[in-house]
């Protein structure tokens, strides 16, 4: 009366239907699925073998993939390979903006060397030199602002003419930021010579 139903309902082991997938089957019977190609089977084995089993292995693998991706990006920045460039540098519009800046002299790229010279002049304890340094600061800043405004205006026109149906948003600001860097320090590396039309 108070016996467990589970014991009564259990099927004896000898009467149980075998459902094990490893059981022997008739050699002429179909297996119910197509035989995978060798390349597919090898790829599947490799993916099972290389799948991380715990969080530590997964984190380590993720770090290695990230390091490899950064290395590809670094090489792409040096060589100009479009496939692995960061998102901000990709596309024909950004490439044209880079080439347009690299093909000309920009006043802004001489800002750092001039700033060092002006700072040295302002540190010297000669009032005449300090006055010249102050005047030079003013002249350099005005020239950079004028050159950048003119460059931005001209580049915007060239981009509208060359890429009328593509997204040009941010390309002028991208080019002006590039023009602030000295040519040899620019990344991606310049792909055109000065005076060469992009």
DSSP state letters, 11-59: PPTTTSPP--TTS---TTS--SSPPPPHHHHHHHHHHHHHS-SSHHHHH
Q: Give the whole-angstrom CA distance, residue 11 versus residue 17.
A: 10
pLDDT of residue 17: 46
Report which DSSP code applies to 189. P
pLDDT digit string (tens) for 29-70? 777 778 888 888 888 777 665 666 788 888 888 999 999 988
Cα separations (Å) of 184 from 36, 189, 190, 191? 54, 8, 8, 11
pLDDT of residue 96: 94
How much of the chain, in percent, has pLDDT values that exceed 70?
A: 83
pLDDT of residue 109: 92
Asked if the model's pLDDT at residue 87 lies above 50, the reply is yes
Report the predicted TM-score, pTM, of the whole model to 2 decimal places. Answer: 0.66
Asked if the model's pLDDT at residue 104 lies above 80, the reply is yes
pLDDT of residue 33: 78
**Who has greater pLDDT, 128 or 9?**
128
């Amino acid at each position: 009366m108070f016996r467990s139903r589970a014991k009564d309902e259990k099927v004896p082991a000898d009467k149980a239907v075998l459902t094990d997938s490893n059981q022997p089957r008739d050699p002429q019977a179909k297996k119910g699925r197509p035989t995978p190609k060798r390349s597919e089977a090898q790829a599947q084995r490799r993916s099972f073998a290389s799948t991380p089993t715990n969080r530590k292995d997964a984190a380590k693998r993720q770090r290695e993939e990230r390091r490899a991706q950064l290395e590809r990006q670094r090489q792409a920045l040096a060589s100009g390979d479009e496939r692995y460039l960061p998102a901000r540098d990709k596309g024909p519009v950004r490439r044209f903006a880079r080439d347009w800046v690299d093909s000309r002299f920009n006043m802004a790229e001489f800002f750092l060397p001039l700033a060092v010279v002006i700072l040295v002049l302002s540190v010297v304890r000669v009032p005449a030199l300090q006055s010249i340094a102050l005047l030079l600061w003013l002249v350099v800043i005005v020239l950079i602002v004028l050159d950048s405004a003119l460059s931005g205006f001209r580049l915007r026109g060239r981009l509208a003419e060359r890429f009328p149906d593509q997204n040009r948003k941010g390309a002028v600001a991208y080019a002006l930021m590039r023009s602030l860097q000295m040519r040899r320090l620019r990344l991606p590396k310049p792909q055109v010579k000065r005076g060469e039309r992009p």
